[in-house]
């Protein structure tokens, strides 16, 4: 069931809300109009000191005039270098030997593990620093074999090796976890050689199992090292505890597979990866520059209709299956086919205008098989950065899809179009918890906008914030007129706060949904409704604008849109969200819908390629490991 707003009530509610706030009505203008000379004009509220006498304005560039607050950058990824595991502390102290002692060769049993450790004296095993440390700590406290019994790899080891060998099914690289498994005992091998071979296999398999478990739980790269746009908490993993668990269970496969995310989305992406690997390249190639309007004809149209017919789900098939069967070979774009194309466009997150263009073609014929496989592998890696259980209810924002959804009990109760940050003001990738909804909110202008966009205007027109409905406060919270500030004296460090009063022209519109985070990102309404008609909606300063903010507010507050409309009649107020509702401000260019069908999206910020570079760097560091 969709949560819908009362469209007819919007205008009178907005008027009533504005009157309740004691503000004048004006047309909702764009952010730049509001910042640079437009918007609603307000009489100053409260007592202001008299404006200062006219003064000479400093030319731009003086006193820090050229200073800007920069956005985060992307870093050259540096993976942890491997270290040689130092087994010295495990080795037995040298003992005087006799001829009788020299003739004794220990068998590989749990009682002789300490003696077998001598085979590690010159062994070069490389591992990540934390894994190397955990290996030594574990075997110091637990001098016994995990993977070896009766002079051979045991069933526990066999299960572990099989799981490591299946790493590719999770989008991982099997070579990262490869281990040389000792062959069956041979009469040619001496007992001493066999003991050395098995103890080295023991520690090597432990090292690779720990690497696999870590990668499955947290991913192969640390996203926060890549860029300030990524913000993920560490996932603690007890490496020694993992070995203790594995030493006391026969369910090795179950344990290792449980380290992976346990959600339906991860499983759907795995199924998609398997299907892609087994598939052939698409033999149907549609002209990517095709532009076709209703009534026109093209030999490319039957190809496109064939692709649509192949991807029909039950809902689409029931609605359009007959039309496609009848007109699937037509080169003329008949009127009956227009609803089919519109439905395909809307399913792909486009506005559904019925005009077949490059974006429609791409959504159907898509990228190459290799490109899709890369997107799915990237998505699997990114999911490992997030909680295994995504939670219910939850809000999921997928930036490349330009959508925001409210999901509860496996059902997408609300899906609305969203506007995200421009390429120069990118929206971060993180997760948090929704805390409150603000009705008729104030807009606290971020310092980056004050410095980068307001300050150049303020140097020549220091009073324009007063006229445009903004409040300026000093570090003590005292309100002062904008005209009283010598804006030319400041650069990137401005000791004043600026906020826009609630109004129809407020940059946040009538609603703001907060989930406190260091990026100052939240969901909100906007007066710039025309942005939602565009297919490419990377247009904001970084926050997420919603086409249906009332529906989202009703969802997170557990109420109705009518209740939200009533609250909006009473001016500025705040209501806390009392339930635990995680919110994911996510970035996936491959993502399954609620039926499990994986959809693909453009990499608007170019992040996939940067992640692939980081993964390549990690593989290169691991390559010389033994």
Task: Give 570 or 359, the one with higher predicted confidence.
Answer: 570
- In 302-439, DSSP assigns E strands to 394-398, 403-408, 411-421, 429-433, 436-439
pLDDT value at position 350? Answer: 79
Q: Is the dihedral of CA 113, 118, 122, 128 positive or negative?
A: positive
Mean pLDDT computed over 241-267: 97
pLDDT (average), residues 335-351: 87
Identify the pLDDT of residue 361: 86
The two structure tokens encoding residue 334 = 């008949």
Q: What's residue 443's pLDDT?
A: 87
Task: Kindly tell me if the per-residue pLDDT of 381 is higher than 60.
Answer: yes
| Percent share of the chain, pLDDT over 90 | 64
**More confident site: 541 or 350:** 541
**Stretch 333-352: mean pLDDT:** 87
The torsion angles phi and psi of 505, rounded to 5 degrees, stand at: -90, 0
91-146 residue pLDDT tens: 876 655 554 444 434 444 444 888 899 999 999 999 999 999 999 999 999 999 99
Cα(314)–Cα(435) distance, rounded to whole angstroms? Answer: 38
- Give residue 418's pLDDT: 98
Q: pLDDT tens digits, residue range 399-456?
A: 999 999 999 999 999 999 999 999 999 999 999 999 999 999 998 888 888 988 899 9
Mean pLDDT over 13-41 rounds to 37
What's the mean pLDDT in 55-59? 43
- Domains in the chain, ordered, with CATH? 1-47+58-70+391-588 (2.40.440.10), 83-269 (no CATH)
Q: Average of pLDDT values for 360-365?
A: 80
Using the predicted structure, report yes or no on whether residue 622 has a pLDDT greater than 60: yes
Question: Does 61 have pLDDT greater than 80?
Answer: no
For the range 388-394, what are the long-range contacts, defined as Cβ-Cβ under 8 Å and sequence gap of 24 or more? 388/217, 388/260, 388/261, 388/262, 388/263, 389/262, 389/263, 390/263, 390/265, 390/582, 390/584, 391/580, 391/581, 391/582, 393/555, 393/579, 393/581, 394/581, 394/582, 394/583, 394/584
Helix (H) / strand (E) containing 57: none
pLDDT score for 597: 93
How much of the chain exceeds pLDDT 70, in percent? 84
The pLDDT of residue 186: 64
Query: What Å distances lie between residue 366 and 270, 314, 372, CA to CA?
Result: 19, 21, 8
Residue 222: pLDDT band with limits 50, 70, 90: very high
**pTM metric for this prediction:** 0.78
* Higher pLDDT among residues 94 and 373, named by residue: 373
* 3-state secondary structure at position 504: coil
In the DSSP assignment, the letter for residue 536 is -
pLDDT tens digits along 549-564: 999 999 999 999 999 9
Sequence-distant (≥ 6) Cβ neighbours of residue 555 within 8 angstroms? 3, 393, 395, 406, 408, 413, 414
pLDDT reported for residue 164: 98
Rounded mean pLDDT, 252-274: 98
Look at residue 447 in the predicted model and tell me its pLDDT: 86
Q: Which residue has the higher pLDDT, 436 or 192?
A: 436
Q: Per DSSP, which regions of 216-372 are E strands?
A: 230-231
pLDDT greater at residue 110 or residue 175: 175
Helix/strand/coil (H/E/C) assignment for every residue in 195-239: HHHHHHHHHHHHHHHHHHHHHHHHCCCCHHHHECCEECCCCCCCH
pLDDT band at 3 (very low <50, low <70, confident <90, very high): very low
pLDDT band for 250, please (50, 70, 90 cuts). Answer: very high
| Out of 54-63, 441-450, 474-483, least confident range | 54-63
Q: Tell me: pLDDT of 204 over 80.
A: yes
Tokens of 99: 């001829």
**Using CA atoms, how far apart are residues 213 and 233, in angstroms rounded to an integer?**
18
CB 527 within 8 A of CB 504: yes
Mean pLDDT throughout 612-616? 97
User: Does residue 248 carry a pLDDT above 60?
Assistant: yes
């Amino acid at each position: 069931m969709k949560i819908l707003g009362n469209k007819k009530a919007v205008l009178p509610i907005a008027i009533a809300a504005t009157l309740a706030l004691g503000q004048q009505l004006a047309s909702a203008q764009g952010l730049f109009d509001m910042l640079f000379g437009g918007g609603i004009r307000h009489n100053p509220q409260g007592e202001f000191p008299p404006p200062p006498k006219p003064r000479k304005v400093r030319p731009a560039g003086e006193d820090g005039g050229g200073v800007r607050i920069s956005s985060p950058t992307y870093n050259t990824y540096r993976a942890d270098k491997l270290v040689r595991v130092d087994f010295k502390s495990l080795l037995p102290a040298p003992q005087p030997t006799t001829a009788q002692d020299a003739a004794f060769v220990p068998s590989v049993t749990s009682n002789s593990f300490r003696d077998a450790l001598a085979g590690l004296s010159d062994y070069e095993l490389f591992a990540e620093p934390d894994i190397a440390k955990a290996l030594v700590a574990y075997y110091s406290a637990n001098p016994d074999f995990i993977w070896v019994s009766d002079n051979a790899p045991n069933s526990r080891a066999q299960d572990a090796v099989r799981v490591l060998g299946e790493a590719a099914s999770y989008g991982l690289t099997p070579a990262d976890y490869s281990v040389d498994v000792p062959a069956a005992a041979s009469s040619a091998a001496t007992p001493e050689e066999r003991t050395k071979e098995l103890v080295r296999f023991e520690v090597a398999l432990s090292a690779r199992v720990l690497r696999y478990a870590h990668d499955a739980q947290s991913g192969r790269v640390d996203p926060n090292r890549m860029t300030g746009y990524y913000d993920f908490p560490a996932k603690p993993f007890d490496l020694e505890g993992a070995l203790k668990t594995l030493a006391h269970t026969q369910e090795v496969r179950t344990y290792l597979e449980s380290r992976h995310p346990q959600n339906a989305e991860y499983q759907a992406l795995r199924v998609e990866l398997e299907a892609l690997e087994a598939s052939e390249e698409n033999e149907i190639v549609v002209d990517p520059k095709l532009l076709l309007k209703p009534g026109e004809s093209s030999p490319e149209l039957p190809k496109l209709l064939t692709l649509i017919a192949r991807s029909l789900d039950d809902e689409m098939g029931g609605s359009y299956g007959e039309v496609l069967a009848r007109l699937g070979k037509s080169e003329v774009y008949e009127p009956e086919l227009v609803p089919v194309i519109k439905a395909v466009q809307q399913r792909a997150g486009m506005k559904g205008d019925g005009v077949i263009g490059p974006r429609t073609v791409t959504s159907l014929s898509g990228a190459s098989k290799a490109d899709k496989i890369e997107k799915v592998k990237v998505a699997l890696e990114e999911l490992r950065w997030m909680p295994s259980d995504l939670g219910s209810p939850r809000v999921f924002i997928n930036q490349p899809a330009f959508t925001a959804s409210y999901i509860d009990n496996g059902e997408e109760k609300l899906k609305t179009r969203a506007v995200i940050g421009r390429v120069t003001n990118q929206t971060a990738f993180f997760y948090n918890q929704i805390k409150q909804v603000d009705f008729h909110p104030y807009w606290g202008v971020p310092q980056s906008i004050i410095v980068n966009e307001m300050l150049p205007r303020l140097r020549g027109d220091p009073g324009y914030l007063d006229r445009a409905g903004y409040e300026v406060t000093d570090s003590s919270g005292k309100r002062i007129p904008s005209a009283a500030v010598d804006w030319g004296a400041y650069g990137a460090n401005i000791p004043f706060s600026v906020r826009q009063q609630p109004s129809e022209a407020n940059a946040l519109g009538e609603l703001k949904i907060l989930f406190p985070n260091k990026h100052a990102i939240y969901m909100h309404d906007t007066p710039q409704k025309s942005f939602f008609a565009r297919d490419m909606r990377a247009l904001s300063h970084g926050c997420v604008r919603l086409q249906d903010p009332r529906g989202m507010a009703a969802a997170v507050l557990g109420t109705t849109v009518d209740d939200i409309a009533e609250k909006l009649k009473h001016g500025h107020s705040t209501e806390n969200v009392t339930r635990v509702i995680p919110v994911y401000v996510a970035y996936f260019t491959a993502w399954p819908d609620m039926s499990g069908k994986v959809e693909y999206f453009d990499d608007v910020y170019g992040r996939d390629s940067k992640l692939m570079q980081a993964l390549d760097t990690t593989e290169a560091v691991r390559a010389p490991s033994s």
